[in-house]
Chain A
């Protein structure tokens, strides 16, 4: 058992290239360890690397905690951050860790999808930046190479004027989402991104297209938007909810978030 404690990102990348398992907030990895599903022997801790904790302008370092995003992030991302686990989890968990785990229920993902964020990946060979939809490739699967770490999330230079987050769960705190969503609206242009309704975070493009064409949506337009979102999502039935409910809730939640953006 060996744990590296680098203070520079380059050292961390070298350790990753040598096969070490990255440890950020520990909120996912340690659950795997505690349940006996993971038993890493070489670990590289990212906790002491100042570079990935930088949060400036539109660039959010991968090591920025949900607590900081809750307090300083753009509106809908801060709203999402507030629903991540508990205070304890938000102190420890990071946006980079959330991305790397790539759970379909990741609370931070819909915002990144809704604003077309880029994910910056790094390895000893250099850096590359890819759009969010190339990053997520399946349930808990990303397109990161074995030697790569996430260095940052890069938001677009200007964010949509209005953006709202919502998350459905059957408990008022500390809950995995049944459905979560972000809707953005800028002038007429609308995006809607959802989590927990497909193997990866997804955009409801047909619904976006329909509502973006309407300058002043009527109740009928909103209902149609809701219907299109429900139609487009691809949820499953599992122990947390049913396909039917998720489909319904995805539409309702998206419509409500859009209504908030229109106010």
Chain B
């Protein structure tokens, strides 16, 4: 089978990947590019654990064909913090106790960062609407909502 070399921008840096099969972007991030932060929990876009930004849009990386990101910009959870400093969304989640097992956490960080970039003072309903595609099995969402309500009040 012929391989496809794809070139794209990953967390602000040029990157490339060699794709043999119709793999997802998620597989390529995790297995080839050593960025395992994006999680695979359902492989069908029903949990949001693999959320990334693709050309400024929030998407599930499990539903992006890796061969289709030629020339695109991809930002993953690993690109969310400012160096070693957590971004505001991460910090708010940390302080509110919004992390338990943490498997949904990367996706929620990416989705909420997208929300707060577009809308720094979302209402509770807007927070819920924006995170409706991110399943958390541990927290019951209470601490996640509190984290972002607090953040919306302070930013």
Contact = CB atoms under 8 A, between A and B. Distances in A.
A25 B44 CA distance: 13
Nearest to A67: B57
B43 interface: yes
Nearest to A27: B63
Contacts of B3: 1
A86 interface: yes
Given A3-B4, A45-B68, A88 B45 contact: yes
Contacts of A91: 57-59
B48 interface: yes
Contact of B60 (A29, A35, A43, A88): A88
Contact of A88 (B22, B58, B65): B58
A252 interface: no
B63 A1 contact: no
A92 B68 CA distance: 13
B132 A173 contact: yes
Which among A31, A40, A91 has the greatest number of chain B C-beta atoms within 10 A?
A91
Contacts of A23: 65, 68
B120 to A, nearest CB: 17
A5 B68 contact: yes
Contact of B57 (A3, A5, A92): A92
A174 interface: yes
A5 B1 CA distance: 19
A173 B141 CA distance: 14
Given A85-B133, A87-B130, A88-B133, A33 B65 contact: yes
A86 B59 CA distance: 9
Interface string B45-60: 1101001000001111
A30 B1 contact: no
A173 B134 CA distance: 10
B2 A2 contact: yes
Interface in A54-69: 67
B67 A88 contact: no
A89 B132 CA distance: 11
A160 interface: no
Contacts of A92: 57, 59-60, 63-64
A41 interface: yes
A174 B46 CA distance: 7
8 contacts: A1-B2, A26-B64, A27-B63, A30-B62, A30-B65, A47-B68, A67-B57, A89-B60
7 closest A-B pairs by beta carbon, nearest first, are A86-B133, A3-B67, A173-B132, A34-B43, A30-B63, A31-B44, A91-B57
Interface of A: 1-3, 5, 23, 25-27, 29-31, 33-35, 38-41, 43, 45, 47, 67, 85-89, 91-92, 172-174
Given A2-B67, A30-B24, A45-B67, 9 more contacts: A1-B3, A26-B64, A26-B68, A27-B45, A67-B57, A86-B45, A87-B129, A88-B51, A173-B132
